[in-house]
Amino acid sequence: MEGEGEEQTSIWNKETVPKVMKIVSTRLAQRDLISLLLLSPWIHRTLISYPSLWLSIDLREMNNAGGRLIAALSLPRYQHVKQISLEFAQDIDDDHLEVIKSKCLGSLQDLESLNLNGCQKISDKGIEAITSCCLKLKVFSIYWNVRATDEGVKHLVKNCKYIVDLNFSGCKHLSDKSLQLVADNYPELESLNLTRCVKMTDSGLQQVFVKCSFLQSLNLYALSSFTDEAYKKISVLSHLKFLDLCGAQNLSDDGLSCIAKCKKLVSLNLTCLFGIVGVTDKCLEALSKSCANTMTTLDVNGCIGIKRRSRDDLLKLFPYLRCFKVHS
Q: Kindly tell me the sign of the dihedral angle through the C-alpha atoms of 38, 39, 42, 48.
A: negative
Q: In this predicted structure, what is the pLDDT of residue 328? A: 45
**Which residues pair with residue 122 across a beta bridge?**
none
238 and 264 Cβ atoms separated by less than 8 Å = yes
234 and 202 Cβ atoms separated by less than 8 Å = no
Q: What percent of the chain has pLDDT over 70?
A: 94
Segment 274-306, tens digit of pLDDT = 788 899 999 999 999 999 999 999 998 888 888
Length of the chain: 328
CA distances from 183 to 13, 186, 207 (A): 56, 6, 6
Segment 26-57, tens digit of pLDDT = 888 888 888 888 888 888 888 898 999 999 99
- Residue 173 CA to residue 178 CA, distance in Å, equals 10
Q: Nearest-CA neighbor of 244 among 279, 196, 200?
A: 196
Q: Kindly tell me the sign of the dihedral angle through the C-alpha atoms of 54, 60, 66, 67.
A: negative
CA distances from 86 to 21, 41, 100, 106, 164 (A): 27, 29, 14, 19, 19
Segment 117-140, tens digit of pLDDT = 999 999 999 999 999 999 999 999
Q: In this predicted structure, what is the pLDDT of residue 29? A: 86
